[in-house]
Amino acid sequence: MKVCFIGHRNVNKTEKLYLLLKETIKTLINQGATSFFFGSKSNFDNLSWEIVTELKSIFPFLKRIYVRSAYQNIKKFYSDYLLKFYEETYFPKKIEKAGRYSYVERNYEMIDNSDYCIFYYNENYEPEPKISKKAYFPQKIKSGTKIAYEYAVNKNKNIINLFKQKN
């Protein structure tokens, strides 16, 4: 069984969230989860990676997979560096021409390949407005986590939203 993690960039890492996430991951491992997909650039990704890495000492068969949204072709030294933290890394072919939305396509890839999607999704979360050099006013942007969450719902994926469970 495969699991992905997707959450907001800024997540308050509380003891309650840590314990909830750890118990959720352990439950999925006991149900057969062996592979875990990670993106990057969020506190939730980092916390999820820390917990899976901790559990790997108890369950050595666990596989951490880093799905890159940048750097289609990487040098050996960078691959070696990544493989110190993950058992595998890859760049999905469909991201090649995604441009600045490559992280969205990367999240779709992780969702498509997962049996369970663990989210930290707050429907009231407002990402920082983007300030364009061409615009006079900040542009409101849609949360990448929201985009991914809606995609997972539309794909009828098994979703665990820890934000709702935490509160």
pLDDT of residue 71: 85
Tokens found for residue 152: 């997972």
pLDDT of residue 136: 58
Note the pTM of the prediction, 2 decimals.
0.89
pLDDT of residue 123: 87
pLDDT of residue 124: 82
Class at the top of the CATH hierarchy for domain 2-166: alpha beta
pLDDT of residue 42: 86
- Distance, CA of 10 to CA of 148 (rounded, Å): 16
Q: Judging by beta carbons within 10 Å of its beta carbon (0-12, 13-18, 19+), is residue 22 exposed, middle or buried?
A: middle
pLDDT of residue 132: 58
Angle at which helix 43-56 crosses helix 15-30, to 10 degrees, equals 50
pLDDT of residue 140: 59
Query: Which residues have CB under 8 Å from 93's CB, separation 6+?
Result: none
Going from N- to C-terminal start, the domains of the chain cover 2-166
pLDDT along the chain (167 residues), means of 10: 94 92 98 96 92 97 95 90 95 86 93 97 75 58 87 97 80
pLDDT of residue 29: 98
